[in-house]
Amino acid sequence: MKLYLKIFLFIILFFLSDFLVAFALQKGMEKYYGLNKSSKILCVGHSHTVLGIDTQLIENELSIPVAKYAIAGANIVDRYSMIKHFIGLNPDVKIVIYDVDARLFDTEGLSSASYTLFLPFIDNDSIDEYIKKEATWQEYVLSKIIRTSRFRDQSFNIAIRGIFGKAETLKKTKVNINNYKNYLEKERKKQIRINIESVKKFKETINFLSKKNIIVYLINIPVIDKLNEIDPENQKKSINIFRKISNKHDNVIFLDYSPQYEKKYDLFFDLRHLNNKGKQIVTQRLLNDLNLDVY
């Protein structure tokens, strides 16, 4: 009898501890992404947004809440789920700032496990629907039963940063182009691929936001010119897709910041990402271009 009691108490303590730890970590992630506040402006994207847009600066300048739901490696499908997730929790969003680039529709080399970044939010209906499509049934069931299993290295680190209020990532160093010669040689052999299904999902995202009368800013956050010169023909095709979508929708504005800043190497941390100086300059430029009449 005592053995059964010990087993029962162990199970109770295990699931209680599991719930409390996962609860704290999830609250940290919600704080990090701004899911815990009613924001008027939502910034969505991958690492370009993480390192290229300073939401705290936007909040200070406009005196309104701004959220940055951006995850390194987030693809178009991820972002659509992120947008539905966020707006479902915060219907007051008036503006979505969505980072785009010439390789947005290129699915080659992307992680097939990016959905694991959203496991901590599996209790949300829209995220749950997404995870069901992407995860194995074993992974799905385990995440439902053991809450701490929802957190991987990246999501755990994000949760800890959120708990301690460290939402902004600062990169102060400047890129040294000479360190990337071999990398650029390999990249020159790759063409920009435009996946038709990705284009369709992107247009679906725009239509979803248009129906909700949300203003969408497609912002091409700068990358270094050496990358833009690799496949100029397909680079132009991708950029033209954003221009055409912007021309078609009254609520969509395309802002291409790369041409103005791509040669200013002192603004970059590496070939693809801005350092803190670049982040401040691009964010201030974005502030100047925002239409402030919508809120």
The whole-number pLDDT of residue 109 equals 54
CA distance 276 to 279: 5
CA distance 96 to 102: 19
Q: What are phi and psi of 50, to 5 degrees?
A: -55, -45
Is 253 within 8 Å of 100 (Cβ atoms)? no
The whole-number pLDDT of residue 167 equals 72
The whole-number pLDDT of residue 294 equals 52
* pLDDT per residue of the chain (295 residues) written in tens, 0 to 9: 688 888 888 999 999 999 999 999 999 999 999 998 889 999 999 999 999 999 999 999 999 999 999 988 889 999 999 999 999 999 999 999 999 999 999 876 555 678 888 999 999 998 999 999 888 999 999 999 999 999 988 899 999 999 998 877 778 889 888 888 888 888 877 888 889 999 999 999 999 999 999 999 999 999 999 988 888 888 899 999 999 999 999 999 999 999 999 999 999 999 999 999 999 999 999 999 987 655 5
Written as six digits, the tokens of 253 are 């504005």
Question: Residue 237, class by beta-carbon neighbours within 10 Å (0-12 exposed, 13-18 middle, 19+ buried)?
Answer: middle
Is 126 within 8 Å of 79 (Cβ atoms)? no
CA distance 294 to 278: 27
> Residue 50, SS3?
helix
Is 218 within 8 Å of 245 (Cβ atoms)? yes
270 HSE (CA, 13 A, CB side)? 11
The whole-number pLDDT of residue 110 equals 53
Written as six digits, the tokens of 212 are 């909700």
**2-294: in CATH 3.30.530.20:** no
Q: What are phi and psi of 230, to 5 degrees?
A: -70, -45
CA-nearest of 30, 18, 24 to 121 is 30
Written as six digits, the tokens of 110 are 């992307």
Q: How far apart are the first and last CA of the chain?
A: 65
Q: Sketch the domain layout of the chain as residue ranges.
A: 2-294
Strand 66-70 to strand 41-45: parallel, antiparallel, or no bridges (unpaired)? Answer: parallel
Tell me which DSSP letter residue 169 carries.
-
Tell me which DSSP letter residue 84 carries.
H
257 HSE (CA, 13 A, CB side)? 28
